Structure formats: C-alpha cells, structure tokens
A and B are shown apart, each in its own frame.
Chain A
C-alpha cells in the first residue's frame, strides 16, 4: 500500500514538472531572440572603440538592430559598412542581426507581431514588404532626405500601388546576362555575340567542337528556366517596361507574339544544354561552369562573387542578345533588396539617420564594391573595381532597365504567376510542351483571377 502511495506521489511530482515544462516553453523560445543582440556587440566591439576615442561619451549612445536575410554578408557589414557609418555618427551603434534566407519572412513576421523586431528591416521586394507596410509595421519614408537619389524603377518595388508612399530605401539590384569562359572563347576563336543569330552561331561552334557544354543550365530546380532564361532574354522581346506595364494594365497578354517568341527561343536552347540537364540542379550548373567544363552560363549578377572565388580562368560577360531588327536593347535590372524602418522603433530619429546615409553615393560605392553583383540603385555614378561586375553595370548606360514582369501585382493571386512561369519555362526547355501551350497556360491562369486581363 505504501508503495502505491509513493508511486502516486512520484507521478504527481512528474506531472507538476511536466506542467512547469509546458509553462516555460514559450519563454525558452524567446531566449534565442534575446541572445542574438548580446552576441553581436562582442563582435562589434572594435568599431566601438575608435568611435569613442573620437568623441568621448558626450551624448548618449543608441543601439540600432538590423533585421536581414543576408547572413552571407555578415562580415561585410561588420568590417566595412557599419564602421564607415560610424565615422559620421559615432554615437549610433549598429548591429547587423541576420537570419537564414528561407526563414527570414516567417521569423520577421513573428518578431514584428511580438514586438521584438529590430529597428531597421531589410525589405524583400514587392508584396512581402507591402504587406508589412499595410499592417503598419513599416514606416513611410516619403519625407526622407535623399530619396530623390533614386529613380522610379528603383523605387517601384517598395511603393504602394497608387505610388503615394515609399517605405524602404532601395539598396541594390541584380542584373541578368550571360557569363562566359574567356579561355574557351579564345581557344575556339569566338567573340561575344550581339544578336540572337550570332548567339546560336557561337553555340553551334562550341557544340561542333564537342569538348565543352555550350550552354550551362538545368531544369531540375525549375526557377533557372524562368529567372535565368525567360526573364533574362525576355525584356528584349517585350520591350522592357512597356511590356511589363502593359501586362499589368491588361493591354498585353502572354499569348501575344512578343511573349511566345521568348519561349520559342528557350525551346531552341535544349540541344545545347548538358546531357541529362533535366536533372541538373542550380549548384550543378555553378560547378560545371567554375570547373571550366561549360562555355556560357546564363547568369544572375549575384553569381559573380562565387565564380571569382572558385573559377581559375578569366571570365567575361555579354548582355542578352537582341533579336534581328531590334534597334534598342533592354536588360533585367531587378530590384532585390532595400531597407525600411520598423514603425514601432524606439529610436526613429537615429534609424532615419541611418536610412539617410543609405541614400548617399558613399554607401552606393561601398556596397557595390563589397558585394560585386549587387548593384546600387542610386542615380549616383558608381565605380566598381570587379571587371565582370563593371561589365554588367555598364549595360545600364547602353540599354533600358526593367524588372521581372511577374513580380509586381501579377503574382498576388492563385495560381501564382511566378511559380507557373518556373513550371512552364522548364517544360518548354525540356520539350514537353510547345511555346504556344506555355503561353496559353500562363494566360489562362492569369485570366482566372486578374481582372484587368
């Protein structure tokens, strides 16, 4: 009998512990968020010291925390960007606290709802950030001095649909084009193709030689087909902004010849891709190129820094070839990253000072050089030391810029336009559907929910 009581007592004890465990769980999940900032000051220490030496504690020090998904850039922010900012504002301590790219949106939403988010928020383009602004989490930046350093295309990703409120300072864009292996081009006596016909002549020569994969792209991950394929070469066909805005206004359709022509070009890529490209993933493509086994890589400019690190041959870049008879060229200069202010920050003045500094030519030059392939959206003239990155950015002077046509407004409904573009573009390259079928499927999907169409 006494044994029974003892056991019962033990069980109750366990129960009580379990209940306590349940109660403490939410606190335990909070803890990492709190440790995040405490880790960073230790690393930011060196930047603090010179600042204090300059201006000995005359005013109170304020700490700003930046939310970001660019955890690859942690070192650049800590060693280059923040120290440069502190030269002007020694009393504002800035902590760059990134989370993993795939978790960023969810983590940021949770932090904003819980009131624990940082003072400065790195903005994803278009709807993700617009939703944050609509919910009142991002402050309007209309009256921020320096915002006129940015053009309309640059601001288009962080503005309300009616164009009345800007809520993030544009930081950088990525540009599409083709990166090629200069050694292979020299060996085969090739030169950069300017037109579509030249492009296919170059591919034919490489294929005939047989030692290298002419065009390095796979369709396993699907997005390259749309992003590095469709959105890369497409602006030349749909005339950049004219076509993009035409789609939004409903005056153009994906079934129009200028869109079908893009898929027709993509279908022609098929024989020049590597054997088994249907199962070739994005890292496979990157490796194939940096190992020197492929000649031409349909690229996003963000690939430059990886190739700089891994490839031991000289690279060059050419812009998307123009179709026969075209008199002007267009490039995808896609707005990718910006920064806004948490509407509930405790230090709005200091946060605005930081954002104001982001609009300066100094930051534009600093950022573009620290991260070759991410180009400042500022109107200021920026000198980039990396030759390949400089080639990309030069195209801005030769061609008209546009952004990916699926990003603004058109990807709000079901089925999601961007995801659908991935799917059909991959299928067109695989040869499973015709360009006309692809266009019809995309247009049907858009028709089902987008009324201007």
Chain B
C-alpha cells in the first residue's frame, strides 16, 4: 500500500529501469532474438542454383512434411525425440524426486556426500559421459558384461548401443544417469523449504510418513514439478550432443537414435558427401522452435496459470 501511494504522489520517468534493462535487452536482442528471426526468415528461402537464395514462401515446410524422403526422417526424428523425452520424464524425474525425498530426511547420515556424488555426473562433459558409457557397454572391452557375469546374468548382455531396438533407450538412460542431479536438487530445495510446523501438525493428527509426503509435501512442491517438467521438455528437444558423441551425426543404427538435433545438424551442416542445406536446415530449426514453443505455451496456460500456489 505504501509503495502504491508513493507512486501516485510523484511519477518521474523511471530512467533507472531503462538503464537496468538495457544491457540484457540489447545483448538478448543481438544474440538471441535477431538470430532467431533471421533463421526463421532463412527458412522461407531456397537456393536457386546460382549461389543466391530466392523467396519460396512455405515451400520448405511443405517439402519437410509431405516429401516422402524428408517427412520419413522428420517424423522419425520427432517420434524418437518424444521417446527420449518420455523416458526422461518418467524415469529421471520420479527417481530424482525419490532421491530428493530420501536426501531431505532429517535422520540421514552423510547427506552432503550423497548430494555431491549424485550431482557429480551432471558436472561432467557430455563427451566424456558418452565415451565412458561406450567403453562400459563395449562388447569387446566393456566391464558391463563381467559385472553382469558376477551376478550370473551375463547371458542377458547385448551390444545395446548397436541394436536398433535398444540403442535409443540406452542413450536416454545414459542421459538420465547424467542429468538426474538437476531435478533432484530442485526437488530437494523445494522440500527443505517446507515449514516444519505443517509437518508436525500433520503428525499430531496421526499421519504416516507416506500420508505426509503425498498430502503435505507433494502438493507444496507441485510448482517445482511443473518447472522440472518444462525444463526436461526444452532440454530434450534441444538435445544433440550425447547422440552425436556416441552414435555420430548419422544417428545409427538405421536412424534409430536420430532426434531433432542430429537431424538438424545433418541437414544444415551436411555430412560426409552430403553438402549442407542451410535453408532446409533453418526449416528444421524452425520446426524445433515451434515444438518447444507449443510445449512452453501448454505449460504456461495449461499448468502454471491453473496452479494453486499454497502460501507457506
């Protein structure tokens, strides 16, 4: 109330706001908004064979979605990307929540050590993670087979990264292993900020640990669940590096690990004898942008706006 009346009393031009916003706005416009718009513009052009580009309207998009060769790759990449995302959503995030719930127990011994160890892979370079897991799972020198042999299940070992049926799931799980620290930390931070009084009150009413978690803690961290979900979505539809490191730009075997990022890379930069096609690449990039935008919009309007935020 005080602030409001102060504003009404005298209203000088808020120079400081402009000054504070200017650096971020300028940099963001220069390095994010302008390239984004320029890339969208490029997707409406096509090379005319004489070294210049001509405006073709939405022709690139029509080709991408209807041409037999292009659409097969596009839909394949999109489907794989959804599988990649769903594995993260339903493995990484629940397990992250479980770990966070365990970490936030008051009686836990060496909490700091667990926290650090579980977060460690997130800080490793993706290239290193890809390389290490390739070695672990290698049928020639990997330790996976002998570890499985130690518990008597060596027969179940397969060259997972090389099989069409299992390569994508394997890579998704490697990525889950690496990035599980992020949802875990976000959930953990949300969980420890829940006031003790609420939990104590519930216990006085006779609630079990299980009831306390699902009736008190979980509803209070729902906003974090939403944030984690959208971060996972955006991160997975921009994913590229792990697949590129482990399977190369051709995302083998038989494109079974091809996601939007690798599809874009091949199209835009070319690969081996395939020359780069910047306009078609920009079209793929625009589709990626659109998919991510749809997800974010769905999150904003379908989830965040309807959320009841409990004041604690």
Contacts and interface: CB of A to CB of B under 8 A. Distances in A.
A and B: real partners? yes
Interface of A: 4, 7-8, 11-12, 14-15, 18-19, 22, 106, 126-128, 131, 135, 218-223, 274-281, 284, 288, 406-407, 411-412, 414-419, 422-423, 426-427, 430, 432, 445, 448
Contact of B274 (A277, A280, A419, A426): A419
A286 to B, nearest CB: 12
A18 B27 contact: yes
Contacts of A281: 134
Interface string B260-283: 000000000101111101000000
A15 B250 contact: no
Given A8-B19, A222-B248, A427 B163 contact: no
A411 B274 contact: yes
Interface in B100-156: 134, 137-141
B69 interface: yes
In this complex, the member of A127, A419, A423 whose beta carbon has the largest number of chain B beta carbons within 10 angstroms is: A419
A439 to B, nearest CB: 16
A43 to B, nearest CB: 30
B253 A15 contact: no
B69 A279 contact: no
B13 to A, nearest CB: 12
A448 B160 CA distance: 34
A167 B69 CA distance: 34
A18 B273 contact: no
B30 A418 contact: no
A135 B51 contact: yes
B20 interface: yes
Contacts of A19: 26
A12 B19 contact: yes
A448 B72 CA distance: 14
B139 A274 contact: yes
Contacts of A277: 139, 159, 162
A127 B160 CA distance: 36
Contact of B139 (A7, A222, A280): A280
Contact of A432 (B51, B139, B164): B164
Given A277-B159, A279-B160, A407-B273, A18 B248 contact: no
A276 B248 CA distance: 19
A220 B162 contact: yes
A280 B252 CA distance: 12
A423 B250 contact: yes
A59 to B, nearest CB: 39
Contacts of A445: 69
A406 B69 CA distance: 19
B161 interface: yes
A423 B271 CA distance: 13
Contacts of A11: 16, 19-20, 22-23
Contact of B163 (A278, A407, A412, A423): A278
Interface residues of B, number: 40
B177 interface: no
Contacts of A219: 162, 252-253
Interface string B211-239: 00000000000000000000000000000
Given A7-B16, A219-B253, A220-B162, A284 B138 contact: yes
A448 B139 contact: no
A414 B273 contact: no
B23 A15 contact: yes
Contacts of B5: none
A19 B271 CA distance: 37
Contacts of A222: 248, 250, 252-253
A416 B23 contact: no
Given A219-B162, A278-B162, A278-B163, A415 B69 contact: yes
A276 B139 contact: yes
B138 A448 contact: no
Contacts of B158: 276
Nearest to A22: B30
Nearest to A406: B273
Nearest to A105: B270
Nearest to A293: B140
Contact of B70 (A218, A414, A417): A414
Contacts of B15: 8
A417 B159 CA distance: 27
A276 B158 CA distance: 7
B273 A279 contact: no
B159 A279 contact: yes
B299 interface: no
A343 to B, nearest CB: 15
Question: Which 3 A-B pairs rank lowest in CB-CB distance, beginning with the nearest?
Answer: A276-B139, A278-B162, A279-B162
A154 B163 CA distance: 39
Contacts of B23: 11, 14-15, 18
A119 to B, nearest CB: 23
A402 to B, nearest CB: 17
B68 interface: yes
Contacts of B138: 276, 279-280, 284
Contacts of B250: 222, 419, 422-423
In this complex, the member of B160, B254, B271 whose beta carbon has the largest number of chain A beta carbons within 10 angstroms is: B254
B255 interface: yes
Contact of B159 (A276, A288, A407, A419): A276
Contacts of A18: 23, 26-27
24 contacts: A4-B16, A11-B16, A19-B26, A126-B273, A131-B275, A219-B162, A222-B248, A222-B252, A276-B139, A276-B158, A277-B159, A279-B160, A288-B140, A414-B277, A416-B273, A418-B274, A419-B250, A419-B271, A419-B272, A419-B274, A422-B250, A423-B250, A423-B252, A423-B254
A127 B69 contact: no
Interface string B1-36: 000000000000001100110110011001000000
Contact of A8 (B16, B69, B274): B16
A448 B274 contact: no
B12 to A, nearest CB: 11
B309 to A, nearest CB: 33
Given A279-B159, A406-B273, A423-B254, A284 B248 contact: no
Interface in B57-87: 68-70
Given A281-B134, A423-B250, A414 B69 contact: yes
A1 B164 CA distance: 68
A218 B247 CA distance: 13
A430 B19 CA distance: 62
A417 B274 CA distance: 8
A323 B89 CA distance: 54
A310 B216 CA distance: 64
B19 A279 contact: no
A10 to B, nearest CB: 9
Contacts of A417: 273
